[in-house]
């Protein structure tokens, strides 16, 4: 696969980086302060799944100063040629020491480009209780993002493991996943059908931060549906 | 490959109204290609009793406290709402840059193409000279 297979809906500045990887020579990253980038895999339009599970490995390069916001999230039921889709993501604010100072889950949908935010939840205490206070540079974590329909509602889940010292893509640590965020949403008429699916990646420098460098990394992403 | 149904029975003894009776828990697991199938509706019936439950993300539905003295147990699977999950894509991101080249621009040609107007300034200045004012007069 290649970037040509991915459609960028929002954001950009994606790049390859050799600093950290769990497989091969490179991982997906983003230029500093690139923002949240929404991407879907073009081939998934053909199958148009209603439900999706995406697994990926993620690590960070902590900011050189102050703090930086990192994103990991999922997209489902993206309709062709229109920005209509479900989204759900985590925003993690990490400081120059690797301390996680904010953790927030967000879920909703876009309807012809208009954002409808259904839920925002502060999950910092639960995040730290399950995964510890710090996320230091180069420490890989395994992430599972699930979106599925059940009994007429759309359910979304985000799970993450603690630091995995020796990541093995052939033996993903499913048993170490911790559920961090889940929301049940009504399904609007325009999202009754299946569609393309993908990821939300990237990071942003908060206006109150003086960080000059920071990066997220994602590698060995798998799409199930 | 069709989903496979595995059934496990866990036998247990319970005291009901001071009398020891044998009961069991029924574990129904639905699996496809080694992955549990979510949201399969499992229907269990015995005697006049009818029970139903959806499988969880591991493809498992558990029915507890089924009496041990029944003669027949019926189990039906409804796959209408089942999520038959399979791995479709794996992205190792190695080929990202090869694919990023979308447009090749030949700038030589572009500059030639943008030449739209050729102006003869001699003629323009002659034409715009309308009034000559001699302020002395």
For chain A, domain boundaries: 3-224
Write the pLDDT tens digit of every residue in A146-156: 999 988 999 99
Write the pLDDT tens digit of every residue in A91-106: 999 999 999 999 999 9
Query: At a CB cut-off of 8 Å and minimum separation 6, what does B37 contact?
Result: B3, B30, B31, B55, B59, B79, B82, B83, B84, B85
Question: Beta strand pairing status for A141-150 and A27-30?
Answer: unpaired
Cβ–Cβ gap B93/A44 under 8 Å: no
d(CA B92, CA A219): 6
Instruction: Please give the pLDDT value at position B99.
Output: 44
CB A209 within 8 A of CB A69: no
Residue by residue, pLDDT tens for chain B (137 residues) are 788 999 999 999 888 888 888 999 999 999 988 888 988 999 999 999 999 999 988 899 999 999 988 989 999 999 888 888 888 999 998 865 444 444 555 555 544 555 556 665 655 555 555 566 666 65
Return mean pLDDT, chain A.
95
Closest CB from A2, A148, A225 relative to B95: A2
DSSP state of B99: H
Beta-bridge partners for B125: none
Q: Which of B45, B43, B65 is nearest to B53 (CA)?
A: B43
The minimum CA-CA distance between A214 and chain B, rounded to whole Å, is 20
The minimum CA-CA distance between A26 and chain B, rounded to whole Å, is 6
Closest residue of chain B to A41, computed from CA coordinates: B89
Closest residue of chain B to A29, computed from CA coordinates: B93
d(CA A14, CA A202): 8
Query: At a CB cut-off of 8 Å and minimum separation 6, what does B64 contact?
Result: B25
Write the pLDDT tens digit of every residue in A4-36: 788 999 998 899 899 999 999 889 999 999 999
Measured between beta carbons, the chain A residues lying within 8 angstroms of B39 are 148, 150
The minimum CA-CA distance between B11 and chain A, rounded to whole Å, is 27
Instruction: Please give the pLDDT value at position B80.
Output: 83
The minimum CA-CA distance between A221 and chain B, rounded to whole Å, is 5
The interface residues of chain B toward chain A in range 102-121, judged by CB-CB distance below 8 A, are: 102
**Interchain contact B80–A (C-beta under 8 A):** no
Instruction: Please give the pLDDT value at position B25.
Output: 94
Judged on CB neighbours under 10 Å (0-12, 13-18, 19+), B32 is middle
Judged on CB neighbours under 10 Å (0-12, 13-18, 19+), A96 is middle
Closest residue of chain A to B85, computed from CA coordinates: A225
- The CATH number for A3-224, chosen from 1.10.10.10, 2.60.120.560, 3.30.470.20, 3.90.230.10, is 2.60.120.560
Closest CB from B87, B90, B99 relative to A4: B99
Lowest mean pLDDT across A9-18, A35-44, A73-82: A9-18
Question: Is 50 exceeded by the pLDDT of residue A48?
Answer: yes
d(CA A25, CA B6): 41
Sheet holding B41-46, edge to edge: B49-54, B41-46, B74-78
Judged on CB neighbours under 10 Å (0-12, 13-18, 19+), B137 is exposed
Q: Is the ipTM of this complex over 0.95?
A: no
Write the pLDDT tens digit of every residue in A111-148: 999 999 999 999 999 999 999 999 999 999 999 999 99
Written as one string, the DSSP assignment of B107-123 is: HHHHHHHH------HHH
Instruction: Please give the pLDDT value at position A1.
Output: 42
């Amino acid at each position: 696969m290649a970037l040509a297979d991915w459609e960028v809906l929002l954001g950009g500045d994606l790049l390859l980086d050799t600093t950290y990887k769990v497989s091969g020579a490179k991982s997906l990253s983003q230029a500093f302060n690139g923002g949240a980038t929404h991407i879907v895999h073009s081939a998934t339009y053909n199958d148009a799944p209603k439900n999706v599970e995406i697994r990926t490995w993620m690590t960070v390069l902590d900011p050189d100063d102050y703090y930086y916001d990192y994103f990991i999230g999922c997209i489902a039921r993206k309709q062709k040629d229109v920005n209509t889709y479900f989204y759900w993501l985590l925003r993690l604010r990490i400081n120059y020491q690797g301390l996680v100072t904010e953790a927030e889950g967000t879920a909703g949908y876009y309807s012809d480009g208009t954002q409808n935010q259904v839920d925002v939840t502060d999950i910092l205490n639960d995040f730290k209780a399950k995964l510890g206070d710090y996320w230091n540079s180069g420490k890989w974590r395994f992430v599972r993002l699930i979106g599925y329909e059940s009994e007429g509602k759309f359910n979304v889940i985000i799970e993450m493991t603690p630091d995995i010292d020796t990541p093995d893509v052939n033996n993903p640590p499913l048993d170490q996943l911790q559920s961090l965020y889940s929301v049940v949403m009504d399904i609007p008429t325009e999202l009754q059908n299946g569609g393309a699916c993908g990821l939300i990646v990237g990071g942003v420098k908060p206006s109150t931060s003086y960080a000059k460098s920071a990066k997220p990394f994602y590698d060995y992403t798998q799409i199930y549906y | 490959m069709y989903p496979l149904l595995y059934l496990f029975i866990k036998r247990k003894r319970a005291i009901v109204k001071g009398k020891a009776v044998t009961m069991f828990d029924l574990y129904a697991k639905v699996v496809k290609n080694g992955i549990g199938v979510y949201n399969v509706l499992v229907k269990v019936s015995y005697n006049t009793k009818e029970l139903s439950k959806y499988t969880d993300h591991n493809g498992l539905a558990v029915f507890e406290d089924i009496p041990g003295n029944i003669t027949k147990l019926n189990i039906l699977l409804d796959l209408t709402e089942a999520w038959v999950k399979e791995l479709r894509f794996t992205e190792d991101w190695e080929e990202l840059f090869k694919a990023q080249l979308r447009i090749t621009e030949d700038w030589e040609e572009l500059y030639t193409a943008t030449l739209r107007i050729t102006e003869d300034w001699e003629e323009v200045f002659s034409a715009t000279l309308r009034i000559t004012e001699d302020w002395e007069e």
